[in-house]
């Protein structure tokens, strides 16, 4: 027999379990029943005394013997395995984990920690050893679902831990009881309903008799029964038919001889809270029943219950004798005969206490109203007066309602790197469609962010134009797309798209955007689904914390699900401090526009050939992404508050050697600051430019002017000053670095012809190219000339003027080489 049972008990067959039971002296009648119930090794490891006594109808003695001998067996197996491990040399990673993990399993009255080392969880693929489970999860604490509230969207996370079971302390704060239901959940309908009803009605009667609110949780581990788990650990149970649990409460009518209606009023219907598992797509729930013994219902009453119990011997549900139960600490116990008289005498005292507790509950002070406007401002600016122009923003959002889409001007002004959008209709009727009316954006799927092994990060960002235009990432398909990007339900998404999401978030946070240069905003405008929670988890992990993540949630009822998930990672205080909840989108819109340096939806204009101006739509401008285009009314959109607050800082930064920006010229032009000094080189370049424009030559449609300057001597300021002074008469732009000559030429031609009817009659384009070599300038000239010849443009004056500004340690020598072009 020793040879037969040498393998791990987890792998025993039903026959081997029977053999082992005989070896420890269990009666044959019990062995036969366990065999009929198909108890193999895996199930043996999950048994507890309550199951043996209730379902197998076993006496307490043999039930205790089986559990004790099983635990000793597991203990001895573990010790023998440890003896076989090599003692010398370096420990393997797995051995180190195993040694560390033993300490995280709490000892219980049922046996030592080692007894859990081979115990499995409820489903084979889910049945890791207690060691493995401790290594994989951190056993984070979590809050229970808000008590007795309708319409609350809530979620639990597997392996998080609820506070220990509690007794009644102020009657309106619920006491709690946990039941794993791991074995019973797999039983047939009749047995499962009897077990569920028995536990609910036992707990409910105890609560009602002492007048305390309470919640009984199924799918939450009680370490006294479920050795190997932390007390209060959330595991959940698989549920195929919710009505089994709902209908189980029909036992109320048969379990109570009187006051059945009272019990119905006090026992709330079961609630099914989904359990999110980061490692599995299997759907599990915690089933919770709230007990609310309002004094108006239970006053002057004592409740006795006949608990249902499925008897295997008779193969039917029988009812135990009528019992009066009460909550004592964290347990529900019968009131023994000698205490009955006192218990009845104290009914009025308990009623009075309940009545007082209910009054106190309704008379509590109203919730303190947070200053959400200030909180939002501080989160978006990191405590500064205005939002940073250079900071990138990443948005994660779900479905917008039409009213909210009318209040997104604040979004249109932000430096958005990408949007993770979970609304499949977004491009048709959602946020994306509204955004595209004002800005250009590149449409992507999660798969777009898979980088091939031979591609560098720079090549990848260039290929997807990540820094040129906002990337719109459809995380759950697109209904407007004819490809295979169809939307899917939560569980299918986790199976098919979770890996792509993880890769894309990791790529952005760890390789593309440096830490501290971006902020992630979860904009929750509709009920939260699990893919969004997974997205938060990925950002939290890859950003190494919550510092640059904020949540904006307009509707209070959409927040608890998000909150319950995020608190496990960040803690309650952090989640509260970084969340804006209950602020209307219209209020958010107005508040954030006040702290943006630029006014929302400002118009931009270019000069035209017939000496007027034309409107340049922002989305058209963004399609010419290789150019920084200078407008006729450039900087007019700057907020007056921003100017008054920042003008001195802007001037000081420039005169301390900082690079000039267009606002320096605008402030000087509008007399907010002193004039930008016109250097001799500025006048020289301006003269060469005027000569080039007046020159009626057929030699070339592309002219060049070169500025050579010592590093730090102000050559870039001179070049930009020339563009600023000519922005109302010419189409002016700065060429952004790293774009090919072909792309720049294409965009320069588009700029020249933008809003013009006749390509023969257009204003010249003045392009500033900084610190490029001669080869690049030659390539750009050639590309522009080819484009002009292709379009058969007749030119009498230049179509393009290339203003090249380059550092040089011998600028005087450069000027002598070509005195008519170089400054």
Phi, psi of 769 (to 5 degrees): -120, 120
Instruction: Evaluate whether 549 touches 575 at the Cβ level (below 8 Å).
Output: no
Using CB atoms within 10 A of its CB, is residue 188 exposed (0-12), middle (13-18) or buried (19+)? Answer: exposed
From edge to edge, which strands make up the β-sheet containing 284-291? 156-157, 271-276, 284-291, 214-218, 175-179
- State the Cα–Cα distance between residues 259 and 501, nearest whole angstrom: 55
The angle that helices 680-694 and 715-725 make with each other, rounded to 10 degrees, is 50
The 10s digit of each residue's pLDDT in 550-597 is: 999 988 888 989 998 888 788 888 888 999 999 999 999 999 998 888
The 10s digit of each residue's pLDDT in 601-652 is: 778 899 999 888 999 988 899 999 999 999 999 988 888 888 887 777 777 7
From edge to edge, which strands make up the β-sheet containing 441-445? 441-445, 470-474, 416-421, 392-397, 518-524, 549-553, 579-581
Name the 3-class secondary structure at 815: helix
The dihedral through the CA atoms of 526, 531, 534, 540 has a sign that is negative
| pTM passes above 0.75 | no
Q: What pLDDT score was predicted for residue 123?
A: 36
Nearest to 260 by CA among 319, 304, 324, 325: 304
Q: What pLDDT score was predicted for residue 812?
A: 62
Residue 441's beta-bridge partner residues? 470
- State the Cα–Cα distance between residues 306 and 303, nearest whole angstrom: 10
Burial letters 324-360, b for 16+ CB under 10 A, else e: bbbbeeeebebbeeeeeeebeeebeebbebbbebbee
Secondary element (H or E) of residue 553: strand 549-553
Nearest to 769 by CA among 705, 686, 721: 705
Backbone Cα Rg of the chain: 37
Mind spelling out the 3-state secondary structure of 735-751?
Answer: ECCCCCHHHHHHHHHHH
Q: What pLDDT score was predicted for residue 352?
A: 93
Instruction: Evaluate whether 518 touches 393 at the Cβ level (below 8 Å).
Output: yes
Q: What pLDDT score was predicted for residue 100?
A: 37
Half-sphere exposure of 787 (CA within 13 A, CB side): 24
Helices (H) and strands (E) in the chain, counts: 34, 24
Taking the CB of residue 511, how many other CB atoms lie within 10 A of it? 12
Write down the residue that tokens 């007990």 correspond to: 291
Residue 379's beta-bridge partner residues? none
Phi, psi of 151 (to 5 degrees): 70, 20
From edge to edge, which strands make up the β-sheet containing 304-305? 304-305, 323-328, 331-334
Entry field: residues in the chain: 823
Q: Mean pLDDT in each 10-residue stretch from start to end of the chain (823 residues)?
A: 63 83 82 82 83 80 84 75 49 37 34 34 39 48 88 87 79 91 88 94 95 94 70 91 94 92 94 87 91 94 94 90 90 89 91 89 63 91 87 95 90 93 94 93 92 87 90 92 80 89 93 92 92 92 86 90 86 89 92 87 87 90 93 88 78 71 86 70 85 71 84 80 92 91 94 89 92 90 90 81 81 58 63
Half-sphere exposure of 469 (CA within 13 A, CB side): 25
Nearest to 434 by CA among 473, 401, 468: 401
Phi, psi of 708 (to 5 degrees): -110, 135
Q: What pLDDT score was predicted for residue 184?
A: 87
Q: What pLDDT score was predicted for residue 174?
A: 92
Q: What pLDDT score was predicted for residue 292?
A: 95
Q: What pLDDT score was predicted for residue 368?
A: 60
- State the Cα–Cα distance between residues 779 and 785, nearest whole angstrom: 10
Question: Cα 153 to chain center, whole Å?
Answer: 16
């Amino acid at each position: 027999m020793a040879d037969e049972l040498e393998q791990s008990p987890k792998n025993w067959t039903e026959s081997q379990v029977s053999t082992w039971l005989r070896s420890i002296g269990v009666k044959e009648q019990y062995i036969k029943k366990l065999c009929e119930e198909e108890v193999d090794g895996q199930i043996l490891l999950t048994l507890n005394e309550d199951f043996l006594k209730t379902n197998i109808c076993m006496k307490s003695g043999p039930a205790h013997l089986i559990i004790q001998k099983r635990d000793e067996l597991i203990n001895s197996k573990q010790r023998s395995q440890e003896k076989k491990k090599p003692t010398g040399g370096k420990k393997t990673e797995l051995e180190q984990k195993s040694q560390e993990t033993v300490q995280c399993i709490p000892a219980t009255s049922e046996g030592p920690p080692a007894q859990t080392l081979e115990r499995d969880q409820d489903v084979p693929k889910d049945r890791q050893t207690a060691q493995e489970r401790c290594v994989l999860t951190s056993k984070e604490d979590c809050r229970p679902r808000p008590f007795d509230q309708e319409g609350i969207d809530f979620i639990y996370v597997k392996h998080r831990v609820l506070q220990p079971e509690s007794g009644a302390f102020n009657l309106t704060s619920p006491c709690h009881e946990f039941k794993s239901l791991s074995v019973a959940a797999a039983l047939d309908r009749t047995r499962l309903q009897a077990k569920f009803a028995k536990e609910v009605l036992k707990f409910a009667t105890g609560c009602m008799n002492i007048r305390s609110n309470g919640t009984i949780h199924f799918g939450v581990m009680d370490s006294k029964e479920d050795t190997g788990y932390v007390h209060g650990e959330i595991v959940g149970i698989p549920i195929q038919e919710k009505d089994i649990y709902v209908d189980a409460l029909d036992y109320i009518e048969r379990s109570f001889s009187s006051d059945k209606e009272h019990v119905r009023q006090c026992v709330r219907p079961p609630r099914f809270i989904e359990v999110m598992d980061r490692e599995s797509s299997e759907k599990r729930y915690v089933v919770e029943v709230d007990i609310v013994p309002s004094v108006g219902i239970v006053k002057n009453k004592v409740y006795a219950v006949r608990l249902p119990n499925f008897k295997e011997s008779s193969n039917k549900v029988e009812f135990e004798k009528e019992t009066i139960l009460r909550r004592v600490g964290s347990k529900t116990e019968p009131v023994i005969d000698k205490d009955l008289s006192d218990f009845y005498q104290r009914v009025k005292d308990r009623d009075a206490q309940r009545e007082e507790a209910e009054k106190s509950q309704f008379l509590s002070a109203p919730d303190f109203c947070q200053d959400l406007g200030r909180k939002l401002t501080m989160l978006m600016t990191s405590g500064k007066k205005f939002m940073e122009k250079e900071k990138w923003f990443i948005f994660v959002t779900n479905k917008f309602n039409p009213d909210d889409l009318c209040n997104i001007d604040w979004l249109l002004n932000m430096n958005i790197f990408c949007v993770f959008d979970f609304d499949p209709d977004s491009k048709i009727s959602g946020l994306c469609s509204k955004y595209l009316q004002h800005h250009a954006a590149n449409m992507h799927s999660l798969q777009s962010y898979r980088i091939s092994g031979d591609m560098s990060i720079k090549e990848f960002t260039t290929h997807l134009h990540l820094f040129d235009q906002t990337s719109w990432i459809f995380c759950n398909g697109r209904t407007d797309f004819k490809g295979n990007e169809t939307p899917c339900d939560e569980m299918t998404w986790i199976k098919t798209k979770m890996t792509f999401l993880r890769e894309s978030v990791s790529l952005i946070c760890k390789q593309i955007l440096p830490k501290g240069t971006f902020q992630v905003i979860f904009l929750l405008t509709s009920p939260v689904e699990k893919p969004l929670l997974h997205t938060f988890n990925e950002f939290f992990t890859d950003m190494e914390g919550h510092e640059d993540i904020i949540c904006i949630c307009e509707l209070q009822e959409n927040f608890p699900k998000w909150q319950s998930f995020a608190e496990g990672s960040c803690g309650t205080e952090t989640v509260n401090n970084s969340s804006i909840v209950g602020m209307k989108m219209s209020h958010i819109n107005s508040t954030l526009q006040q702290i943006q340096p630029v006014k929302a939806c400002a118009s931009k204009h270019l000069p035209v050939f017939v000496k007027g101006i034309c409107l340049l739509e922002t989305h058209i401008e963004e399609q010419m992404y290789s150019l920084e285009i200078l407008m006729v009314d450039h900087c007019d959109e700057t907020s007056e508050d921003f100017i008054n607050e920042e003008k001195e800082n802007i001037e000081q930064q420039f005169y301390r050697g900082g690079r000039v920006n267009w606002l320096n010229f605008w402030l000087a032009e509008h007399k907010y600051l002193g004039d930008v000094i016109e250097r001799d080189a500025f006048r020289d370049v301006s003269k060469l430019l005027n000569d080039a424009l007046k020159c009626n030559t057929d030699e070339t449609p592309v002219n060049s002017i070169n500025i050579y300057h010592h590093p730090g001597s102000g050559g870039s300021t001179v070049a930009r000053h020339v563009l600023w002074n000519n922005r109302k008469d010419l189409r002016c732009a700065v060429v952004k670095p790293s774009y090919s000559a072909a792309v720049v030429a294409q965009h320069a031609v588009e700029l020249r012809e933008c809003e013009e009817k006749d390509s023969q009659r257009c204003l010249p384009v003045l392009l500033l190219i900084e610190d490029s070599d001669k080869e690049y300038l030659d390539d750009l000239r050639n590309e522009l000339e080819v484009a002009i010849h292709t379009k058969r443009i007749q030119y009498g004056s230049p179509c393009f003027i290339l203003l090249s500004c380059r550092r040089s340690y011998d600028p005087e020598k450069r000027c002598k080489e070509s005195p008519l072009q170089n400054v």
